[in-house]
A and B are shown apart, each in its own frame.
Chain A
Amino acid sequence: MRPLIRNEWFVRVAAPLLVGALVLAVWQLACQTYEVPAYLFPTPTDIAAKLASDLPGLLGALWSTLKVTFMAFAIAVIAGTALAFLFTQSRIIEFSLLPYAVILQVTPIAAVAPLIIILVKDTTAALTICAAVIAIFPIISNTTIGLKSVDPSLANYFRMNKAGRLQTLVRLRIPSALPFFLAGLRISSGLALIGAVVAEFVAGTGGRSAGLAYEILQSSFQLDIPRMFAALFLITATGVILFLAMAGLSNLLLGHWHESALKVEQ
């Protein structure tokens, strides 16, 4: 029988789940032993109970955050990829625009968000812009590097065979850029969620379009710490699901050829 440590399923799934269960058990036990009040640090069971009782309200908030996240992510992917293509077509365009993309990246979103929220009337649109600003840079940067990281011998081969610009782009540059683009997607999806939450914090919008960040703020004001943790759990779970979805996409597209997605033979 193979030892557990060599079992792929155990290493990838069961081991991290076991660690999680262990942490939760210690947490639960510690809170109960030391009788920590729920308004200071709730037990995992308090949080689960709150999650179950407040689920409809929290799911509504989650939907608002998800809407902003997905819209921002879509904008980042479309605009980021388009800009990366533009950058690789002409050095003058790249050198003219790249510094501004870097400025966008290095400026803290919390500092820019109030300005965007003042300038853009529609709250959802303002939040989406904030999140997209954060999420776009990894796409631009990775895709640009990918489009430029073509095997020089293959590029020579295409040139020697008198391949057109479009043929080279479709048959060589895009497939070469795919691993880089997908790595950018993984980072960008997480950043879109972070951007959405940060923007919600800054905007502090309530009402029907309130997101999970607003729920966290409200819960902290009302000392409803279990609800705060429940909202935090939903944000984290969303982030993990987004990451897994991007990893799955990466495996689907690269699994048969790229080292990053190939299973290591042992």
Chain B
Amino acid sequence: MGPASQRAALVQAAAAKPPPGPEPHLQPPVVEVLSAEKSFANGTRALAPIDLTVRAGEFLTLIGPSGCGKSTLLKLIANLYEPTDGRINWWRGDFRKVGQDGRRLAFVFQDPTLMPWARVATNVRLPLDLERVPKPQATPRVAAALEQVGLGHAARSFPRQLSGGMRMRVSIARALVTEPNLLLMDEPFGALDEFTRNKLDDDLVALSWERKLTTIFVTHSIYEAVFLSTRIVVMAANPGRVFREVVIDEPMPRGDDFRTSSRFADLCRELSAALTDASIASQGKGAKTPCAR
């Protein structure tokens, strides 16, 4: 089965399934950011205290001008950074809850972040190897994850033999192989051309719907944010803070019908206006706070 038919099958399968839950606000919280703030050792105040709750099944996108702390907030949620003050709960507990009772977190970086010395299948198997999942159990899961992103044929390739879009798919397969409940994505498609990006957005929206994933996504693209999200958090800089929220109350899974609709254009306009306001609010308030990498 080719990548195109894979995608079509995925979208159809997702469309055939019931929605993940009754109402988003009735779902239990997966991540709670409780007055968490972040300053770096060099004195840069990346984030003012932030309160944010992400509930099961939500597709939440963080968007905002450069330096607003989107990536920093995502890394706090991934436990890659410690908050300077405040705290973060995962499934109403501390980070030890992650990995217990099937509660899994996966992170997709801006770059594919693959091991260049390992074949695609070995890259995808990495989180299972780190968990010491026996190879006979891991192998079919790896094959399934690769099939899911339309790369079943590339299992024995090396990352350098793949295009940018295919590498990103491998990275997504590596995230999916652990069957995560919480998927964190830091501008994963930022470096790709628009055509590839749209295809991957289609796949992602179908996947997250089918698997009932809770997803937190960072992007600079207004169109991508509107297409993917159930809720968008617009952030402002100096220091990084939540500026506004935009709810995208449109049925899932979405496809080209939504992308070409007037409703989509209206939502993009609304988000664009919110971003403009956030940019104005970011100017002249405190010292410049570069985005942490």
Please list the residues of chain A having a beta carbon within 8 angstroms of any beta carbon in chain B.
Answer: 151, 153-154, 156-163, 167, 171-172, 175, 178, 256-258, 262
Contact = CB atoms under 8 A, between A and B. Distances in A.
Chain B interface: which size bin?
20 to 34
A160 B105 contact: yes
Given A257-B158, A257-B160, A157 B107 contact: yes
* Chain B CB within 10 A, most for which of A161, A163, A172: A161
10 contacts: A154-B115, A156-B80, A157-B126, A160-B79, A161-B126, A161-B127, A161-B130, A162-B130, A167-B130, A171-B115
Contacts of B126: 157, 161, 171
B158 A256 contact: yes
Please name the 4 residue pairs, one residue from A and one from B, whose CB atoms are nearest each other, closest first.
Answer: A153-B113, A175-B117, A161-B130, A153-B109
Interface string B76-118: 0011100000000000000000010000010101110101111
B249 interface: no
B131 interface: yes
Contacts of B127: 161
A256 B160 CA distance: 9
Contacts of A151: 113
B250 interface: no
Contacts of B159: 257
Contacts of A161: 126-127, 130-131
B189 to A, nearest CB: 16
Contact of A171 (B78, B110, B129): B129
A178 B117 contact: yes
A163 B113 contact: no
A175 B114 CA distance: 12
A157 B113 contact: yes
* Chain B CB within 10 A, most for which of A159, A178, A257, A258: A257
B130 A175 contact: no
A161 B80 CA distance: 11
A249 B279 CA distance: 55
A258 B107 contact: no
Contacts of A256: 158
Given A161-B130, A161-B131, A162-B99, A175 B80 contact: no
A198 to B, nearest CB: 37
B129 A154 contact: no
A2 B9 CA distance: 48
Contact of A160 (B107, B110, B111, B160): B107
Contacts of A175: 115, 117-118
Given A175-B115, A257-B116, A159 B129 contact: no
